[in-house]
Amino acid sequence: MTQAPVAFELLPAAGGSKIAVATLNRPQALNSLTLEMCQLLREQLLRWRSDDGIALLVLRGAGEKAFCAGGDLQGLYRSMQAHAGEGAWGNPYLRDFFATEYRLDYLLHTYGKPVLAWGSGVVMGGGVGLFIGASHRVLTETSRFAMPEVAIGLFPDVGGSWMLGRLPKHVGRFLGMTGASIEAADTLHLGLADYLVHGQKEAVILADMQACDWTGDATSNHELLSRLLRAHEAQPEVQGPLQAHADLIRRTAGTGSFLEICENIAALRKHENPWLQKAALGLVHGSPGTARLAYTLQERARLLSLADVFRMEYVAALQCGVHGDFQEGIRALLVDKDKSPRWNPATLEQADEAWVEKFFVQPWPKNMAHPLADLES
What was the pLDDT predicted at 377? 55
Q: In what order do the strands lie in the sheet with 182-183?
A: 66-68, 122-124, 144-146, 182-183
pLDDT in tens, 153-172: 999 999 999 999 999 989 99
For the chain, what are the domain ranges?
A: 6-360
Question: Coil, strand, or helix at residue 372?
Answer: coil
Residues 41-69: pLDDT tens digits? 999 999 999 999 999 999 999 999 999 99
What pLDDT sits at residue 237? Answer: 87
Give the model confidence (pLDDT) of 112-143 as tens digits: 999 999 999 999 999 999 999 999 999 999 99
**How far is the C-alpha of 175 from the C-alpha of 147, rounded, in Å?**
7
pLDDT of the residue at 169: 87
Q: Which residues of 51-67 are buried (b: 16+ CB within 10 A; e: fewer)?
A: eeebbbbbbbbbbeebb
Smallest CA-to-CA distance from 153 within 30, 334, 372 is with 334
> 262 with 253: CB under 8 angstroms?
no
Domain 6-360 CATH class label: alpha beta
> Using an 8 Å Cβ cutoff, are 264 and 256 in contact?
yes
Print the SS3 string covering 38-86. Answer: HHHHHHHHHHHHCCCCEEEEEEEECCCCEEECCECHHHHHHHHHHCCCC
Sign for the CA dihedral angle at 234, 239, 241, 246 comes to positive
pLDDT digits (tens, 9 = 90+) for 193-248: 999 999 999 999 999 999 999 999 999 999 999 999 999 999 998 899 999 999 99
